[in-house]
Amino acid sequence: MRTKILAVCLLSTLTALVIQTFLFQRASASLIYQQAENESFHTLENMQNELYTFFKNIENGLIEIYNDKEFVQDMSGRMTAGELREKHYRRAYAIATESFTTSDNVVAVYIYNKDHEIVSTYRRAVTPKHNYPKDIYEDAERYNGEKVKEYIASSDTDMLISSYYNPYREKNIVRFVLKIYNNTNLADTIGYVICDVDSGALQKIMEKYVINEKTYIWLQPMGDRQIFAIGNLEEDSRPYYETIDRCIREGKSDELKDISGGSRVLFQVSQKKYNLDAYSVMPQEMLRQNQQMLTRNLILIAVLLIFLMTAVSTHITKSVTKPLEMLTETMTKIRSGNTDLRVEYLAQDEIGQLGKECNEMLDEIQRLIGKEYENQLLLNKAEYKALQAQINPHFLYNTLDTMSSISSIQNCEIVSSLCQSLSSIFRYSLDMKHPYSTVAQEVNHLKNYIFVMNVRMREEVRYGFHIAEEVLSDSVPRISLQPLVENALNHGLKNKRGEKRIGVYAEAEDGLLCIMVTDNGIGMDGEEVNRRLRENDKSAIESGNSIGIYNINARMKMLYGEEYGVCVESAPGEGCRVILRIPRLKVDEVEAWKK
C-alpha cells in the first residue's frame, strides 16, 4: 500500500513539473533573452561609470597645472620653447609626483607649447623594458602624435583620450591630453599637457565586468585606434571584430548598427563626457544560458523531489524505532568515554524528555569536571607566579642599582659604572611596550654596551661615532645597532692582531636613514653574505655565522619591505662595512607610513 501511494505522489509531481517546464519555456524564452541583453548592456554602463571616475581623477590631476600661475603666465608670454625648458624643465615631474598617486600608474608626462614644441618631460623608471618616448613627435606615426595635433587644432574643450602601442612594454599605453588656456583669454590655447598611463589601471577596472570567458570587451574612441581590450576573441569572431574596428577608425558610427554578426551580438555604451566608447562582442548562446539553466534547474528539482518523497516514506516507517536506536547508540558512545556527545532527538514526547534529562545530567558532570580543571590551573598559575617573581626584571634593575651604590661608596667606580651600564642595557632591552626608538636612544644604548665590552676586553678596541645631528630624532626598531657592533666584535676583530677599530655612522641618504658599522678586522666573503641576505633565508637566523646581520636584515624586511635591509661591503683581510638602510620616519609616523 505504501508503495502505491508513493508511486502516485511521484507520478503526479513529475507530470506537473513536465507541463510547467514546457509552458514556461514557450512563454518566457523571449523575456529571458531580453533580460540577458539588458544585463550585458548594464554591465557595460557600470563599467563606463567606474572608468569615468578614473578619467575624471586624471583630468583633475592635469588641471592642477593652472595652480602654477608663473608657469601659465610664461606660457602666455613671448618666451621661446628653449627659455621655457630652461626655466620650467621640472614642471612635468611636479605634475606626475604631486598630482597623482602610484595607483594611477602614470608612466610619462609631457608639456608642449601651442607650436607643439616640448617644454618639459617626465618618464618613470626608464629602463630597456620600461622605455617611453622623450617627445611623442619624434615618431608621430608610431606614437599616434597626429591624433594629438588634430585635437589641439579642433574646438573641442573636453580632455582627449587616445593611446599608442609601446613595443618595449608590449602593450597599449593610454594617453590623456588637456589643453592649456590663457587665464585672461579662455579662447586662446597656449599649450597642452599629456599624461600617459599604463593600461594596467584600466585592466583592474574592466576585469570585474567580464561575465564570461567568451566575452570580448574593448575601449575605442570614435575615429581612433583601440585603447585597451580584455577577454577572449575567438577566431571565428575576428572578421566581425575587424569590420567593427575599421568602421570606428574611419568614424563611420552610423554603419555599426548595420553590421551583421551572425551568431554574435555587439553592445556599445558611450562615455557621458569623454570621447571613448565601450564595446562588447559575445555569442548569442551566452544570452540563452539563463533559459538553459532554468531547464536544468527544473530537472534537478524533479530528481530531488523523488529522493525527498522516498526519504519521507522511509522516515514515517521508522518514526518509532529510530529515536530509540539513536538514544541507545548515543548512550553507548558516552559510556565509552566520549562525554562531549549529546542526545540529538529532543522531540516533545517521552523519548525526547528522556533525552533532555540525559543531556542535563551530562552538562552538570562536565561543569564539575571543568571547575576542577580550573582550580588546578589556578594552582599552577600561582606556582608559576612564584617562580616568575624570582626573576622579575625590576628585581634585577634594583639589585644592579644597589650594587652600583655600594661600589660607589666603596670607591669602586669601575664596578659602579659597570652596574649602571648593565642596568640601563637591561631596562632598554626588556622594554617591549615600545618597539621603535630613536637614533639618539639607540646610540646611548650602544655606548652602554660598548662600556661593558671595554671593561671585559680591557679597552683594546677603539670606537668612533659619526652621527649626523639631523637623524638623531629619526625612528629605528629597538636593538638594531648593538647586534651590528656585536657582530664586528665577535667575527671581525676576534682574531685580529694589532690595533682594532670600529666606526659607527648614521646619516640621511636620498630620503633614507643610512646606518653603517665599519671595522678593520679580518673581513669576510661579502658577495656570499649579500647573496644570503637577499635570499632572506629564515634558517640563517637560527644557525650559521653572523646571526646578528641576518636577524636585523629579516626584521627590517618584515617591518618596512623587501627593498630595505642590510648589505655588506667586505673581502677577506680587508675589514668590513655593514650598511643598514630604512625609511626616514619619526616614531609617531611609523604606523601611518605602514598603512
Query: Can you tell me which residue has the cell 652621527?
Result: 467
**Residues 275 and 335 occupy one common structural domain:** no
| CATH code assigned at 75 | 3.30.450.20
The confidence score (pLDDT) of residue 10 equals 61
The confidence score (pLDDT) of residue 91 equals 93
Q: Which residues contact 228 (CB under 8 A, 6 or more apart)?
A: 163, 172, 174, 199, 202, 203, 206, 218, 219
3-class secondary-structure state, position 126: coil
**Residues 151 and 280 occupy one common structural domain:** yes
The confidence score (pLDDT) of residue 391 equals 42
Q: What torsion do the CA atoms of 504, 510, 512, 516 make, to the nearest 10 degrees?
A: -20
The confidence score (pLDDT) of residue 387 equals 39
**Residues 462 and 349 occupy one common structural domain:** no
Q: Of 517, 428, 398, 520, whose CA–CA distance to 467 is shortest?
A: 517
**Residues 277 and 381 occupy one common structural domain:** no
Judge whether 576 lies within some domain.
yes
The confidence score (pLDDT) of residue 473 equals 92
The confidence score (pLDDT) of residue 334 equals 75
Judge whether 128 lies within some domain.
yes
- Domain end call among 360, 386, 412: 386
**Residues 117 and 249 occupy one common structural domain:** yes
Judge whether 304 lies within some domain.
no
pLDDT in tens, the chain (595 residues): 445 555 666 677 667 766 766 666 555 555 555 666 677 788 888 999 999 999 999 999 999 999 999 999 999 888 899 999 999 999 999 999 999 998 899 999 999 999 999 999 999 888 888 889 999 999 999 999 999 999 999 988 899 999 999 999 899 999 999 999 988 777 789 999 999 999 988 989 988 888 777 788 999 999 899 999 988 887 878 888 888 888 888 888 777 777 765 667 788 888 878 888 998 887 766 555 555 666 666 667 767 766 776 666 566 555 656 666 777 777 787 777 676 777 665 667 766 777 777 777 877 777 777 777 665 665 455 444 443 444 445 545 555 666 666 666 666 667 777 777 777 777 777 665 678 889 999 999 888 888 888 887 777 889 999 999 999 999 999 888 988 998 888 888 888 888 889 999 999 999 899 999 999 988 888 888 889 888 877 665 655 444 578 888 888 888 888 899 999 998 888 889 999 999 998 888 877 777 6
Classify residue 159 by its DSSP letter.
Answer: P
**Residues 326 and 280 occupy one common structural domain:** no
Is residue 551 within 8 Å of residue 532, measured between CB atoms? Answer: no
Judge whether 425 lies within some domain.
no
Q: Compute the C-alpha angle 504/505/510, nearest 5°.
A: 155
* φ, ψ of residue 234 in degrees (nearest 5): -70, 155
- Domain end call among 284, 307, 327: 284
Judge whether 310 lies within some domain.
no
| CATH code assigned at 463 | 3.30.565.10
**Is 0.95 topped by the overall pTM?**
no
- Domain end call among 386, 402, 417: 386
**Residues 242 and 382 occupy one common structural domain:** no
**Residues 264 and 343 occupy one common structural domain:** no
- In this structure, the strands spanning 512-519 and 576-583 are antiparallel
What is the spatial distance between Cα 405 and Cα 403, in angstroms, rounded to a whole number?
Answer: 5
**Residues 264 and 342 occupy one common structural domain:** no
- The x, y and z cell numbers of residue 150, run together, are 588634430
**Residues 221 and 76 occupy one common structural domain:** yes
Q: What are the C-alpha distances in Å from 396 to residues 399, 425, 527?
A: 5, 12, 43
* Cα–chain center distance at 327: 53
Judge whether 582 lies within some domain.
yes
Boundaries of domain holding 464: 449-594
Total domains, the chain: 3
**Residues 537 and 590 occupy one common structural domain:** yes
What is the spatial distance between Cα 145 and Cα 163, in angstroms, rounded to a whole number?
Answer: 10
Q: Compute the C-alpha angle 120/121/125, nearest 5°.
A: 155
Query: Can you tell me which residue has the cell 597642452?
Result: 192
| Element containing residue 27 per DSSP (H, E) | helix 2-63
The confidence score (pLDDT) of residue 557 equals 86
Judge whether 404 lies within some domain.
no
Judge whether 113 lies within some domain.
yes
**Residues 338 and 264 occupy one common structural domain:** no
Is residue 569 within 8 Å of residue 579, measured between CB atoms? Answer: yes
Per-residue burial over 187-198, b if 16 or more Cβ lie within 10 Å, else e, is eebbbbbbbbbb
Q: What are the C-alpha distances in Å from 350 to residues 10, 318, 326, 357?
A: 34, 16, 14, 11
Classify residue 491 by its DSSP letter.
Answer: I
